[in-house]
Structure 1
Amino acid sequence: MKDPKDWTQKDLHVHLQHALDVEFWTIPLYLTALYSIKGLSELKPKDYPEAAKLVQSVVIQEMLHMEIVCNLCTALGYEPRFPTPKYDKNKGIPFIHPKNSHIPKDLLGYQVKVGPLDAETLKLFCVVEMPQPWKDIEWAHKKSYESIAELYTALKEGLSHHWLAQYVGDEKNTRQKNIFSEYHDSDHLHHGFSQTVNSLENALNAIEAIMEQGEGADSGNIPEDFRPPSLEDVDEYHAGWFKGELCHYRKFNILFHNARHLPPVHEVIDGQEAPEIQTKLEASFEAFRKELERSYALEGSEMTPGFWQHMMALPTPIMDLWKLGVCPVWK
C-alpha cells in the first residue's frame, strides 16, 4: 500500500471518495434496522424506546460525517459522488477488511446484509464501527485497511503532507455546507459541530471528530468545537445527540450484549412481496441520492430544497415494507 506522504492528487481524491462511500453505505443499513422496530410510526422521536434513540443518533451523526467528508472534498478540489450502496455478503464492508484475529469472538460470523434490529444485524454494526488498536502503521506492509479508523488515519497523514499543495484557496472554497450543526443551547446560542474546512488544522480536527465519534472510546478526545452538547444542558430533545458521550461502536455493542431486551421488531415473512412500496422506496432513495450530489456541487452553504423533502420521505416506505413482513431492498 502506498504511503500517504507519496500520494498524488488522484490518490487523495480516491481516498476521500472511499471515506464518503463507507459513510453513505452505513445509512440505509442503519435505517433499515431502526425502522424495523414496531410502533415507531405512532411515536415522536423523543418517545422512542432507548434502542431506537441510540440507532437514530448514529444515523444522524453519519449524515454529519458525510457532510464533513464532502467539505474536505470541495476544499481539495474534488466533487463528491454518491453511488448506490451495495450490500453483498461475498464482498464485505466497502474498502474495509477486518482481520478475524482482531474481531472479538462473539462478533465473528457477521454477514453483510440489511435486516431488522437483532443480534445478528448488530454483529455487523459493531464490526463496521470497530476500533482499531492505536499503533504506528507501516503502510508498505499493508495490503488493505482493517478499519474505518485506519482509512481516516491514512487521510490524516495524506492531508498533513499535501494540504498546502492541494487546498483550492479561500476564494474558491465556496461550497462548504453547514446543515447538521443547527443547535441552540439554553441561551439560544449556536452550538454543535463546526464543519467548515478551510485550514489544515480544522481539516485534521474534523477527521479526528469522525474517528472518535464513530470508533473512539472517549468523546473527551474530540476537539471541543466538534463535541455534541449534553442533553441536560439544553431545552429540547435532539435525536442526534442522544448519549453523545458514547461512540457508535459502544452504542451498538451495548445493544448487542443486551439483545434479549431489544424492542419487538417486524419479522420477514417468507414469500411476502410489496412491489409498489418497494418501488416507492427505490424512487425516494434515488431522488435523495441525486439531491445529495446536486447539493454538494452547489455554491453556498445550503442544500437544495429537494434534499430535505427526499430525506424526510425515506422512513415511510421503510416502515410500510416492514409492517408487511418485507425487508427493504436498497438499489
Structure 2
Amino acid sequence: MNREIPQWTLKDVQTHLQAAVDLELWTIPFYMAAMYSIKDRSDTSFQLIQTVVYQEMLHLQLAANVANAYGCEVSVTPPEYVGHHIPHLNFRLDKPDPRREFHPYSAEIGPLDVERANSMCLIEYPKWESHHPPELRPNIEEYGSIGQFYKAVRFGMIERAQDLRGGHNQVDVLRRFYQNVDRFTVHESGPAGLEQALRLISVITTQGEGETRGEVDVPTMFQNTADDANANWAHFGKFTDVREAVLGGCPPATYEGIKDPPPGSPGHAAQEILIRDFRRLCGEMQALFRGEPLGEFGPHMAKVGASIANCWKNGAVPRFS
C-alpha cells in the first residue's frame, strides 16, 4: 500500500528555502578558510576553490531571491562549524553512502587537507537516490544529499506556485559575470514567475550542487563568462581535482594554525577581527536580501577574505563566530 504523500504548505516551502540560504552561506566560510590556507595563490587548487566560492555567493543570492518570492523574511546569521555536521544533510541516507569513499571528513574550519577536501566533495556530491515525487521532510535534517534536498525544494515550489509573488526584494548584483543570462531574479508572478524561480534553482544545481555529475559540463547558459578558466566544470569536478592534488603526494603548501590562541596573542586578535568583519558582512547581506540598498557589501566581502588570510598568517585557524 502506498504511503500518502504529505501536502506541502507555504510554511514548508519557506522553511526549506531558508534552509537553502543557510546551506549556501555555510559553504562560503568553509571553502574560503581552506582556500586562504594555501600559501601560493597561483596554485591550481587555490584557483579552483576560488571559482567555487564566487559561485556560492551567487547561489546565496539566488536562494534568497526565490525565498523572497515565496514571502520569506530571509535571515543571514554566522554559521557554526562543529564535528561532522553539515546543515540539513545526512549522508547515511544516501545509497550508496558517499562517506565510504570520502573519508575521513570534517565540518570544522581548517586548512586544505584530506578532511576538508573530502568534505568539499561530500557537500557537492551529485549522485543521490531518486524518489518520485521526493518526500517532504519537515525537519529538513534528513536529506541524503544536497541534490535530494534541492529536488524536494523544487517539488515544494511547484506545489505552492500560487503563493509566488515576483519582484519582491530581488537582488541581481553578480550578473555581470554571466553574460549568457539576462537576469537572476524572479520578477513576475504566476506561471512565468514559477519558471523564473525554477531556473534559479537550476543554476544552483547544474553548477555543481545536486544535478551535474563531475564529468558533465555546466550548460553554456550558466557558465561564468568573466574569470573562470574552467567555467564548464561543475563544483564536484573541481573539488575532485583538488582532492586528487591533496592525496597525490604533492599537496599545496598550507599555513598551520591553532583553534584557540591565547588572549592577547596576534592570532587571537586576528580571530576577533574576522568575527567582527564576518558579522558585518552577514548584516549587509541580510539587509540587502530584505530590500535595502547595496551598501558596503563588496568592500566587506573583500575585507573578510583579507581577515581570513590574516588569521592563517598569524598562526590561528579562522573563526567566524
Fold shared, TM-score > 0.5 on shorter chain: yes
CA shift for structure 1 position 28: 0.5
1:22-33 to structure 2, matched below 5 A, reads 22-33=23-34
Do the aligned partners of residues 14 and 141 (structure 1) sit closer, same or farther apart at CA in structure 2, a change above 3 Å counting?
Answer: closer
1:62-81 to structure 2, matched below 5 A, reads 62-81=56-75
Instruction: Write the distance in 2 (CA, Å) between the matches of 1:167 and 1:141.
Output: 19
CA shift for structure 1 position 159: 1.2
Do the aligned partners of residues 270 and 158 (structure 1) sit closer, same or farther apart at CA in structure 2, a change above 3 Å counting?
Answer: closer
**Corresponding residue to 1:175 among 162, 169, 175:** 169
**Corresponding residue to 2:142 among 144, 149, 152:** 144
CA shift for structure 1 position 74: 1.4
CA shift for structure 1 position 83: 2.0
Return the TM-score normalized by structure 1. 0.83
Aligned residues: 300
Return the TM-score normalized by structure 2. 0.85
**Corresponding residue to 2:240 among 225, 231, 253:** 253
Instruction: Write the distance in 1 (CA, Å) between the matches of 2:127 and 2:172.
Output: 29
Instruction: Write the distance in 2 (CA, Å) between the matches of 1:141 and 1:39.
Output: 45
Q: 2:88: which partner in 1?
A: 95
1:156-235 to structure 2, matched below 5 A, reads 156-163=154-161, 165-168=162-165, 170=166, 173-183=167-177, 190-192=179-181, 194-197=183-186, 198=188, 199-215=193-209, 216-217=212-213, 220=217, 222=219, 225-229=221-225
Per-residue CA deviation, residues 161-203 of structure 1 (Å, 9 max, x unaligned), is 211x2112x4xx242111111138xxxxx44573112311121
SS of alignment partner, residue 185 of structure 2: coil
Q: Does 1:49 align with 2:36?
A: no
Q: 1:307: which partner in 2?
A: 297
Per-residue CA deviation, residues 238-293 of structure 1 (Å, 9 max, x unaligned), is 1xx34111111111111112213332110125874522211111110000000111
Deviates more, 1:10-19 or 1:127-136: 127-136
Unaligned runs of at least 5 residues, structure 1: 41-47, 185-189, 230-236
Instruction: Write the distance in 1 (CA, Å) between the matches of 2:5 and 2:270.
Output: 45
Whether contact under 8 Å (1:5, 1:157) holds in the other structure is: no
Instruction: Write the distance in 2 (CA, Å) between the matches of 1:4 and 1:152.
Output: 18
Instruction: Write the distance in 2 (CA, Å) between the matches of 1:51 and 1:193.
Output: 31
Identity of matched residues, %: 28
Whether contact under 8 Å (1:213, 1:219) holds in the other structure is: no
Whether contact under 8 Å (1:278, 1:321) holds in the other structure is: yes
Whether contact under 8 Å (1:291, 1:307) holds in the other structure is: yes
Instruction: Write the distance in 1 (CA, Å) between the matches of 2:26 and 2:4.
Output: 26
Deviates more, 1:48-57 or 1:206-215: 206-215
CA shift for structure 1 position 68: 0.6
Letter in 1 for 2:31: Y
Instruction: Write the distance in 1 (CA, Å) between the matches of 2:180 and 2:136.
Output: 42
Q: 1:113: which partner in 2?
A: 108
SS of alignment partner, residue 117 of structure 1: coil
Letter in 1 for 2:120: F
SS of alignment partner, residue 132 of structure 1: coil
Deviates more, 1:131-140 or 1:92-101: 131-140
Letter in 2 for 1:290: G
Letter in 2 for 1:133: W
Whether contact under 8 Å (2:218, 2:233) holds in the other structure is: no
Instruction: Write the distance in 1 (CA, Å) between the matches of 2:39 and 2:233.
Output: 25
Higher normalized contact order (CA 8 Å, seq sep 6+, divided by chain length): 1
Deviates more, 1:73-82 or 1:25-34: 73-82
Instruction: Write the distance in 1 (CA, Å) between the matches of 2:62 and 2:149.
Output: 15
Whether contact under 8 Å (1:117, 1:265) holds in the other structure is: yes
Unaligned runs of at least 5 residues, structure 2: none
Do the aligned partners of residues 3 and 290 (structure 1) sit closer, same or farther apart at CA in structure 2, a change above 3 Å counting?
Answer: farther
Do the aligned partners of residues 182 and 221 (structure 1) sit closer, same or farther apart at CA in structure 2, a change above 3 Å counting?
Answer: closer
Instruction: Write the distance in 2 (CA, Å) between the matches of 1:265 and 1:156.
Output: 39
Do the aligned partners of residues 67 and 114 (structure 1) sit closer, same or farther apart at CA in structure 2, a change above 3 Å counting?
Answer: same
Do the aligned partners of residues 16 and 194 (structure 1) sit closer, same or farther apart at CA in structure 2, a change above 3 Å counting?
Answer: same
Letter in 2 for 1:226: F
Do the aligned partners of residues 269 and 228 (structure 1) sit closer, same or farther apart at CA in structure 2, a change above 3 Å counting?
Answer: closer
Q: 1:187: which partner in 2?
A: none
Whether contact under 8 Å (1:3, 1:139) holds in the other structure is: no
CA shift for structure 1 position 137: 4.2
Instruction: Write the distance in 2 (CA, Å) between the matches of 1:23 and 1:202.
Output: 19
Instruction: Write the distance in 2 (CA, Å) between the matches of 1:298 and 1:221.
Output: 31
